[in-house]
Every structure is written in C-alpha cells, then in structure tokens.
Amino acid sequence: MPKRTVWSSVIGVLLLLNVPQLQAQRPDHEFNDAHVHLTNNVQDGPSARDFLMMMGNHVGRAALFGIPLQQQWSYRVDGDRAPTYYLHTDAPLYYYSFTDASIAMAYKSLPPDAQARFDPMITGFNPTDMYAVDHIRRVLRTFPGVFTGIGEFTVHKEYVSGKIPGEVASLQNPALDRILDFAAESGLLVLIHSDIDVPFAKEGSEPAYFLQTKALFARHPKSTIIWAHMGLGRTVRPPRDHTQRIEEMLRDPGLRHVNFDISWTEVAKYIVATPEALQSMANMMQRYPDRFLFGTDVAAPRDQSEYLAAFHEYEPLWKVLDAETSRKVRLENYERLFSEARRRVRSWERADAAGP
C-alpha cells in the first residue's frame, strides 16, 4: 500500500473542500498588506480576530506572520525590567520555531471568509541550518491548507544579526540555497530581509551586501522573491545611488522573479524625505509598476491607528504616483503574487499527501 495512503486521501479532500476561496477585492479597500507581524519579540500580540477588526475596510488581505526571534529575558542583565523589543536589552535573541504553530492556530480560529483575507507565512527556522527545509516541509504537512510563503526571515539585519548566538547567517550559505530551492519546488513565496549595507556605511562606498544579494537571487530564478524594504533599515540608509541599483535589478532579465517591498515607516521616511527622493522613487515605480508591494511592517499593533501609520506616512507617494501604478503597488501586485503562491502550495500539498 502506498505510504500515508488513508491519511493522505483525507488531507487531499480537506484541501480541496475547506481551503478558503479567494475573496474579491472590495472597491473601498485601500491596500493589501504584504508585511505584518501579528506578534512582537516576546510572542505577544493581538488575537487574529482583533487584528481583523483593525484591518476593517481599509485592508483587503494581509501576509500574516510572527517574529522568528525571541528576545531572552536575562535576569542577570535586566532584573525585573522585562524587555519586549530587541533594542531594549543586551541579552541575546534565539530562534523560536513555535511561532509557526501559533500563527497557524490563530488562522484556524477564524471562519473561512476571514481566513480568505490572510496569507500565513512560515518564519520559525534558522537560515544557517541545513535542516531548515525539513522544518518548513514539516510545518506544511502539519498544517495543510494554511501557509502561503516563508518569511519575513532575516539574513543580515542591523543590530539583530549580532544578537543571535552561534553561526552568523550568510547570503552565501548552502542552507539558504536549500530553502530557496524548496520554495521553488513547493510554490512558497519568499519574503527575505537582508540589509544592502552595514549601518553608518561610508558615503560613496560599495554597499557591503549588494552583490551577494544579487548573486543569491540570480541563483534561484524559479523562486518568487520579495526583498523586504529594498535592503534598507533604521541605520542602513539608502546609498547615494540606491535607486539606480534597484533599477539595475529591475532591468535584469535574470531577476524578473524578484520583487521589492517598501514596508516600514523607517523606509517611508527615506522615500518621502525630499521632493527629489520622492519623485525618483515614483518614476522608477511607474517604469516597473508590477514589481513593488506595500506593507506596514507593524509588529503586534495595539490599535488601528498604530496599524495604519505606515500607510499614512506614504501619503505623499500615493499622491504623486499615477492611479494605475498606485493601485498595483497598494493592491494588485499582492493579489497576483500571493494568490498564485497560495494556489501552487495547495497543489504541492495535494501531491505530497498522495505520496509516491
């Protein structure tokens, strides 16, 4: 008898019958959110139902994930002052794989029409570990019909990377290549955070990680990739020729599978800082309107005002973009990429459940 025959058949039927159908985009939705954390660095956050209320009619769909790095509360370092953010303490961070089960159960607690508005993502793996792929595959098999992609996961990130004990994540690590290979096989969308440069880099110097980032993406043409924040961070400011470098990637036919998220209020500040910066970004988006996605990058929002802050920060951009590009960045590119990933992952799950 083929492996997993009976149970696989049950899973296959459930996948066909119970997966929420894609919800048509309502005309009053302002955006889809390609980047939002339901939890913070100590795994606290609103319930899925409370977050749905924050979305209201403003947000159609959201890529939902936790934070894969748990902040340790070291009494020796912080005493009774419990840190809730990675900058609140010198204590280390560690990978917290249970975040994936927590997100899956939050999603499954919702009725089907609400589930259709979310695309849960797998984040609880160590990208330096050759076994990371096994974790991702195991999550898909444990929670069939739930996940759409992997990420946001981190390779190089200001202040964060140095707080993780053990091997430092690298864009040149074969473990990362295995992850992206499996994403191509399974259809999982990839949302990766890796800074383009080091903090406080010397003006005019070659960004430390730009060439490695391009090389990684080029090695995986069958993986659909979203580069979080276009490589920017709180102290990783845009290099002088940042727009030109991004456009270089956009023009490269070998990188057509790479997309760019403009999430985070810190990134918005760079883009809207001056009329020149704003117009430069708008012009590039209008030349490549299918390649950019908006996301809030809020973590464990407390209320709707906090959740929508990044969207409002970008108000100057929404005003200067032409209507078609604005709609694609805010809504349609998300629908196209995440809907296709959802379809492909469900197909992979059915084939996997059927066995050899």
Alpha carbon distance 199, 197 (integer Å):
7
Mention every residue, 6+ apart, whose C-beta is less than 8 A from residue 20: 112, 113, 115, 116
Q: What percentage of the chain carries pLDDT values higher than 70?
A: 92
Question: Within a domain: residue 27?
Answer: no
Count the domains in the chain: 1
Name which residue leads in pLDDT, 202 or 154.
Answer: 154
Q: Residue 336's pLDDT is what?
A: 98
Question: Within a domain: residue 258?
Answer: yes
Question: Within a domain: residue 18?
Answer: no
Q: Confidence band (pLDDT; 50, 70, 90) for 25?
A: low
Question: Within a domain: residue 244?
Answer: yes
Pairing of strands 93-95, 69-71: antiparallel
Q: Are 70 and 126 in contact (CB under 8 A)?
A: no
Look at the chain and count its residues. 356
φ, ψ (nearest 5 deg) of residue 335: -55, -45
Question: Within a domain: residue 24?
Answer: no
* CATH at residue 151: 3.20.20.140
Alpha carbon distance 297, 94 (integer Å):
21
Name the pTM for this structure: 0.92
Question: Within a domain: residue 16?
Answer: no
Domain that holds residue 130: 5-11+32-354
Q: Confidence band (pLDDT; 50, 70, 90) for 27?
A: low
Flag the least confident range among 22-36, 180-194, 281-295.
Answer: 22-36
Q: Residue 240's pLDDT is what?
A: 86
What are the tens digits of pLDDT across the range 119-148?
Answer: 999 999 999 999 999 999 999 999 999 999
The arithmetic mean of pLDDT across residues 334-342, rounded, is 98
Alpha carbon distance 173, 216 (integer Å):
10
Question: Within a domain: residue 278?
Answer: yes
What are the tens digits of pLDDT across the range 194-249?
Answer: 999 999 988 888 999 999 999 999 999 999 999 999 999 999 999 989 999 999 99
Alpha carbon distance 54, 51 (integer Å):
5
Distances (CA, A) of 129 to 138, 181, 188, 215, 265: 15, 14, 19, 20, 31
Q: Confidence band (pLDDT; 50, 70, 90) for 5?
A: very low
Please give the structure tokens belonging to residue 68.
Answer: 């894969």
- Answer whether residue 6 shows pLDDT above 80: no
Question: Within a domain: residue 25?
Answer: no
